[in-house]
């Protein structure tokens, strides 16, 4: 599953952009109750291309951006879309993929990344966060 490598690249990319992007945390499945905004939660749905192309792995990675500032949330979504919705022009993503040593070497070769869906929800009164979701389809192979 490629999400760990992609999220490492995203963290490096957001850090290089400076404030407010360098303070964004990315969590799998759910964030902690006291997590300050903005933050991103992601889910990964792995699969294969089809029976004949079993060597091509496909993951739909859905990113949920939570923020109490809608303009900032939209800017984060735009930056995320600009970084990951690139088709087969993946050079920028790969240039940010430098994994920490605890994950070892890069295990996958990304071939395409494109956005397939997105949505936005207004703030829930109780929690005060607006939410934007972006769904990216990534095709990759094992190294």
CATH of the domain at 107: 3.30.2000.10
How far is residue 27 from each of residues 8, 59, 91, 129, measured CA to CA in Å? 12, 17, 25, 16
For the chain, the average pLDDT equals 85
Report pLDDT digits (tens) over 33-90.
788 889 999 999 988 777 777 788 899 999 999 998 889 999 999 999 999 999 988 8
What's the CA gap between 82 and 114, in Å, rounded?
10
Q: How confident is the model at residue 9 (pLDDT cuts 50, 70, 90)?
A: confident
pLDDT above 90 for 128: no
Give the range of the structural domain holding residue 60, as residue numbers without chain letter: 3-142
Q: Angle 49-51-53 (CA atoms, 0-180°, nearest 5)?
A: 55
User: How many whole angstroms from its chain centre is CA 58?
Assistant: 15
Strands 25-28 and 39-48: parallel
Token pair 């109490």 is found at 68
Q: Which of 114, 107, 115, 117 is nearest to 142 (CA)?
A: 107
Q: How many structural domains compose the chain? A: 1
């Amino acid at each position: 599953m490629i999400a760990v490598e992609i999220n490492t690249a995203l963290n490096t990319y957001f850090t290089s952009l400076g404030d407010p992007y360098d303070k964004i945390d990315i969590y799998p499945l759910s964030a902690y109750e006291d997590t300050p905004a903005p933050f991103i939660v992601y889910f990964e749905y792995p699969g294969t291309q089809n029976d004949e192309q079993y060597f091509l792995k496909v993951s739909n990675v859905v990113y949920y951006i939570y923020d109490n500032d809608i303009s900032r949330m939209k800017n984060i979504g735009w930056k995320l879309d600009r970084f990951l919705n690139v088709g087969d022009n993946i050079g920028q993503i790969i240039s940010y993929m430098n994994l920490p040593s605890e994950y070892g070497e890069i295990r996958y070769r990304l071939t395409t990344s494109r956005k397939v869906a997105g949505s936005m929800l207004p703030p829930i009164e109780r929690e005060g966060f607006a939410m934007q979701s972006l769904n990216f389809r990534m095709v990759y192979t094992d190294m």
